[in-house]
Amino acid sequence: MAREIPESMELPLSWADSGQSVLKLNIRHLWLCGVWPLPGSWIFEVYGALGLVLGVWNAVESTLALYFCWGDMDESTMVFISTFSIGCGTVKMAFFMCNRRQYYALARSVEMLVSLQSEFCSADPALADIRQGSQRRASRLTIGLLLLMLSQYPVWFPMPLIARPDERRLPFAQHGWDNNTNFYELSYVVQCVIGAWTTQISNSVDLLFVCIMILTAAQLQILTMRIASLKREDIEVKLEKGISCVADQTENSCSDKMYEKLCQCIESHQNILRFVKHLEKTMSSIVMTQFSFSVLVTCVSLFQATYAEAVTLAAYSCSWLKASHRFKRALRILMSRAQKPLVLTAAHLYPMNREAFVSLVNASYSYYALLGQMTK
Q: pLDDT digit of tens for each residue in the chain (376 aa)?
A: 345 677 788 899 999 999 999 999 999 999 999 999 998 789 999 999 999 999 999 999 999 999 998 888 778 888 988 999 999 999 999 999 999 999 999 999 999 999 988 888 998 999 999 999 999 999 999 999 999 999 999 988 999 999 888 888 999 999 999 999 899 999 999 999 999 999 999 999 999 999 999 999 999 999 988 888 876 454 454 545 444 444 445 556 666 777 888 888 899 999 999 999 899 889 888 888 887 887 777 666 666 555 565 666 677 777 777 788 888 888 888 777 776 665 556 555 556 566 665 666 676 667 667 666 665 5
- 124-138 CB burial, b ≥16 within 10 A, e <16: beebeebbeebbeeb
**Residue 167: what pLDDT?**
86
User: Are the C-beta atoms of residues 265 and 226 closer than 8 Å to each other?
Assistant: yes
- Write down the pTM of the prediction: 0.78
Residues 273-282: b if buried by 16+ CB within 10 A, e if exposed: eebbebbeeb
Dist. CA 218–CA 130, nearest whole Å: 6
What are the CA-CA distances from residue 347 to residues 50, 151, 344 (Å)? 36, 18, 9
Per residue in 142-168, is it b (16+ CB within 10 Å) or e — as a string?
beeebeebeeeeeeebeebeeeeeeeb
How many angstroms separate the CA atoms of 113 and 103, rounded?
A: 15
pLDDT of residue 319: 78
Residue 139: what pLDDT? 94
Q: Give one DSSP letter per residue of 85-98, joined into a string.
A: HHHHHHHHHHHHHH
pLDDT at position 356 is: 63
Distance CA 305, CA 77 (A): 11
User: Which candidate, 154, 151, 191, 153, places its Cα nearest to that of 169?
Assistant: 191
Q: Is 329 left (phi over 0), alpha (psi -120 to 50) or beta?
A: alpha
Q: Which pLDDT value is given to residue 245?
A: 46
d(CA 356, CA 305): 15
Which pLDDT score, from 0 to 100, does residue 246 have? 46
Measured over the CA atoms of residue 342, residue 344, residue 350 and residue 355, the dihedral's sign is negative
How does DSSP classify residue 320?
-
- The dihedral formed by the CA atoms of 138, 139, 143 and 149, expressed in degrees to the nearest 10: 20
**β-bridge mates for residue 351, sequence order:** 345
Classify 170 as helix, strand or coil.
coil
Backbone angles phi, psi at 351, to 5 degrees: -75, 145
